[in-house]
Structure formats: structure tokens, C-alpha cells
Amino acid sequence: MDTLSKLQLLADASRYDLACACGTKANDDHRRRTPDGMWLYPVQLPSGGTGIMLKTLLTNSCVNHCRYCPFRAGRDGPRCALEPEEVADTFMHFRRTRGVMGLFLSSGVQRDADHTMDRMLAAVKLLRQKHGFRGYVHLKIIPGASDAAVESALSVASAVSLNFEAPTRTSFSVLCPDKDYERHIVHPVRLISHLTGPGMKHAGVKQTTQFVVGAAEERDRDLLEAMARLYGRLRMSRIYFSAYQRGTGDAGLPGEAPEKGSQSDGELLTREHRLYQVDFLLRQYGFQAGEIPVDGQGMLSLAIDPKEHWASLHPEYFPVDVNAASRGELLRVPGLGPITVARVLAARRKGARLRRLEDIGQAGKLLCKAGAFLRFG
């Protein structure tokens, strides 16, 4: 296969890994496909701006048997690999002709983790040293990579990710029989957290991860506890979720379900959406993981969003006085988000007295929902 044919196949295959700085859903991330089959993704820059990123695998060959993965060992389908020089040269061509400003490079495991990391690092070093590229590179850490390979990745990347895929050792063993949860996942994530900590040499490098939802019958409570640890102790920059779609073509993560499972494909997509809502509550709304309501089986409600569910269980908290409440108190109100709350606080600083819902903003669906939880003094 020539370089373009390989890149068409490998760039398409990379869409299953969401753990980069693009959107969280296929219909929501504004990605676009070029006439020659490349996927270009939006990326959030460290400076706060946005750009366009080329996303590809180095190879879709893999020695592992991860049961959620469409490219695991033993599955049929075309396999190919890019040489490091092909990655670097093609990216620079796309940079000149398409305005691409960043690269997300992942890979199946070819031979072993360190051999694969060596080839990925060779591609990025060509970009940095031969082509003088100083822009955004998100590099996947291959599970099982040595500490030296991890530190080398941090020395050339703007962001890295190593996907947990499952929240507990037990659920991980269902999905990834070839991998050791502590040695291949937990240890390198802790190492990255340490090496990118305040005052450390690689402090500017971001770390993200991803969970597959529903492939191992994991509980949402387990995912919430894992999110709390990752955001709290390990300073994870972002956590992504991908619903496991059983027996589908291009939607989700096709493959053979490890177990029959109790949730339909539609329910798993709703569950993914709820987990992203929780992610925002933890990162932007001041909620703690232990506050998020789950049922007796440790699962989020599919019928109601988690913030509104919390509000329904805490009537003593409401109504909130819009003219006196703190930012944190206002963020607990269903229908109010950070932008609207900032607008309320800005109006109050200017001495305005808010007397009705329309004083906050245009009365849309969300703001009307908030009205039931607010009082205007």
C-alpha cells in the first residue's frame, strides 16, 4: 500500500480513541473528512484557542486480545503500518496544504510496547528535530511501556494519554486478558502524574484517559470513584467515555461483547451522555463524586440528568436567592451553567437587582427550568 492508502485506513481506525482534545461525540465534535479520506479534528490549544489536528494510528496490527477492540489480534481485516518518516512527511504536507496544526498519534501494539513506542517517538522526533515543528502533539502511551519510554514521550509531546478502559482491576481483566492493571495502567499513569506535577520538568504536558462504557458490566459507582481519584489525586486533565456498541458496524466500538449485557445500545449511549454530564459537574460545577446520585445497583439514572436528580433529592437547598447566593450555590441550580452564573454575578457587581427570570437572560428551556429553583428576593 502507498502512504495515502495506509493513512486512509489508519486515520479512520483512530476514531475509536476519544482521549484527545477533540469533542466527545462523533456527531458533536465538528470533525471533518477530507476528499482523500483523512479525518481532521478540532483541538483545544494550551493557549485557549483552537486548531485542526490530524489523528491517526501508526499501525492497526496488534498482539493483544482486548475484547472490546475491533483491531485485536486474531480478527480479520486489512492490516498496515506507517513508517516514522511517512508520518512526519505526511503531517508536514498536511500542515502546508490543509492548515493542520497538531497531530494525535496512537497505535496498535506491534511486537511489544517499547518497540511500538520507539517507532512513535521516532516519528515525533523527526517532526521536532528535522522539520522544526513546535506545535501540538498528542501521543498515546502504550500499556506496558517502560518508564524510560514514558519519560521520552513527555519530552516531545504536548499531551499524552493512556486509556484505563475499565474502572476496576476486575472489570479490566474481563476486557484486557493480556494486560496487568497495576503494571500496565496504574503505574505509568501515576508516573506521568508525578513527572508533570507542579515544578517538575514536564509540568506543561497534559494527561487524559478514556473508559469504555458497558463492555464489562462495570457499575457507574465504580466509574465515579475512578474519576474522583484521577481528577483529585492524579490531576488528570480530562476523562473521555465511549459507549460499547454490540454488533454494530461503524458506531461506537464494534466487536464481540464479552458478555450479553443488560443494557441496549441506546441505553449505553444515554449512559455515556450521563457520564459526560457528571464529568462536567465534577470539573466545572463544584460537585464531589460522592454527591452524584446512583441507585441500589450503583447506576446513574437514565431518565433524569444527574444535576436535576441531585436537586430532586435536596429540596431543603431550594429556592436559591439569585441576588445573594454564591457562585457555588448558583451552580447547583438545574438549568444554570457557568456562563449564566458569571452573567448573574457580573450584574450584581454592577449593583443591579435581579427581579425576574428575564433579567438573567433570554428565557429558553434551560432558564425556564432554573426558574423553579430560584427566588428573586
Query: Taking Cα atoms as reference points, which of 67, 81, 98, 66 lies closest to residue 13?
Result: 81
Residues 340, 276 share a domain: no
Q: Which burial class, exposed, middle or buried, applies to 262 when counting CB atoms under 10 A from its CB (0-12, 13-18, 19+)?
A: exposed
Residue 1 confidence (pLDDT): 81
Most confident of the following: 43-47, 253-257, 275-279: 275-279
Which is higher by pLDDT, 80 or 258? Answer: 80
Task: Count the residues in the chain.
Answer: 377
Mean pLDDT (whole number) for 327-345: 96
Higher pLDDT, 163 or 69: 163
| Residue 121 and residue 62 share a domain | yes
Asked whether residue 26 falls in the same domain as residue 115, the answer is yes
Average pLDDT, the chain: 88
Are residues 229 and 335 located together in one domain of the fold?
Answer: no
- Predicted confidence band of residue 75 (pLDDT cuts 50, 70, 90): confident
If pLDDT is split at 50, 70 and 90, which confidence band does 361 have? confident
The CATH number covering residue 350 comes to 1.10.150
Per-residue pLDDT, 278: 97
Give the SS3 label for residue 62.
coil
For residue 376, which of 339, 333, 315 has the smallest C-alpha distance? 333
Rg (CA), the chain: 22
* Pair (302, 322) in one structural domain: no
Give me the number of domains the chain comprises.
Answer: 2
Same domain, 110 and 10: yes
Last residue of a domain, one of 280, 306, 332: 306
Classified as helix, coil or strand, 114 is helix
CA distances to 95, 164, 170, 280 from 138, rounded to whole Å, are 16, 17, 29, 22
210, three cell numbers: 478514556
Structural domain harbouring 351 = 314-375
pLDDT tens across 185-204, in order? 999 999 999 999 999 999 99
The reply to whether 16 and 129 lie within a common domain is yes
Does 98 score more than 90 pLDDT? no
What number of other Cβ atoms are within 10 A of residue 203's Cβ? 11
Of the listed ranges 20-34, 100-114, 324-338, the one predicted with least confidence: 20-34
Residues 324 and 258 in one domain: no
Pair 363, 281 in one domain: no
Q: What is the mean pLDDT of residues 26-54?
A: 62
Q: Is the pLDDT reported for residue 272 higher than 80? A: yes
Q: What is the per-residue pLDDT for 143?
A: 96
User: Do 290 and 333 sit in the same domain of this protein?
Assistant: no
Q: Are residues 256 and 133 in the same domain?
A: yes
Q: pTM (2 decimals)?
A: 0.87
**Percent of the chain scored above 90 by pLDDT?**
69
Domain boundary, last residue among 274, 306, 338? 306
- Same domain? For 165 and 52 the reply is yes
pLDDT at 255 over 60: no
User: How far apart are the C-alpha atoms of 62 and 66, rounded to whole Å?
Assistant: 10
- Cα–Cα distance list, 92 to 95, 127, 290 (Å): 5, 8, 47
pLDDT of residue 340: 94
Looking at 251, 286, 306, the residue that finishes a domain is 306
Q: What is the CATH number of the domain that holds 181?
A: 3.20.20.70
Q: Which of 48-62, 94-108, 145-159 is predicted least confidently?
A: 48-62
